Amino acid sequence: MFTGIIETLGTIKDIRHQGQNIHFTIQSTISKELKVDQSVSHNGVCLTVVALGNNTHTVTAIQETLDKTSLGSWKLESIVNLERAMLANARLDGHMVQGHVDTTGTCTEVKEADGSWYYRFSYPKNPEHLLVNKGSICVNGVSLTVVDPDDTHFSVAIIPYTFEHTTFRDLAVGHTVNLEFDIIGKYIGRYMEVYRK
């Protein structure tokens, strides 16, 4: 379980294909503190650490993960958002994030607003993709507040700190992002689906 509060950025240093799997080696300031079998969110995707190196860690993405996320587009020197799993005795500063990406979205607009930024995203229409105005959404692992949602689009506001300390600083129109919808909304939606039967 994660909170959507990014700890640090990582840089992709090696990409190795093995069958349908891809092994990514990431260099970061927290890599030396990780352990094998530990779960870490990479751009919102929960991946297990399988090896450690000199200030690096390696994770493996299987085909299903590659099909449902943006990981297949990662290249050498790509920058990714990193967050370790939350501690049970820590404050939940963001919202409850599982690291299980629901779908990908596309950045359709970036607007600067006197020191802050507004990003708008499109995503596939699906009754399971529930958004409410001022609710929570996880974009590339970042916990954010939903602005002006409809069935296929929503916006988020990015403050300078988030812009400077996450991959939002490099995000442009046309880029693909990982989206995880609020787990509470998903459970309510599933409950209503069962109840209607």
Sign of dihedral through CA atoms 84, 183, 129, 23? positive
User: How many independent structural domains does the chain possess?
Assistant: 2
- Which residues constitute the domain of residue 70? 8-84
> Worst-scoring range by mean pLDDT, 34-38, 120-124, 128-132?
128-132
| DSSP output for 16-42 | EEETTEEEEEEE-SSGGG--TT-EEEE
Q: What is the pLDDT of residues 130-155, one digit of tens each?
A: 899 999 999 999 999 999 999 999 99
CATH number at residue 189: 2.40.30.20
> Worst-scoring range by mean pLDDT, 36-40, 108-112, 131-135?
131-135
pTM: 0.93
Q: Is residue 188 part of a domain?
A: yes
With bands split at pLDDT 50, 70 and 90, how would you rate the model's confidence at 188?
A: confident
User: How far is residue 27's CA from residue 185's CA, in Å, rounded to a whole number?
Assistant: 35
Mean pLDDT of 177-192: 84
Question: Do residue 78 and residue 108 come from a single domain?
Answer: no
User: How far is residue 10's CA from residue 82's CA, in Å, rounded to a whole number?
Assistant: 7
Work out whether strand 153-158 and strand 8-18 pair parallel, antiparallel, or are unpaired: unpaired
Question: Do residue 12 and residue 61 come from a single domain?
Answer: yes
Distance set, CA 196 to CA 151, 183, 191, 192 (Å) = 21, 20, 9, 6
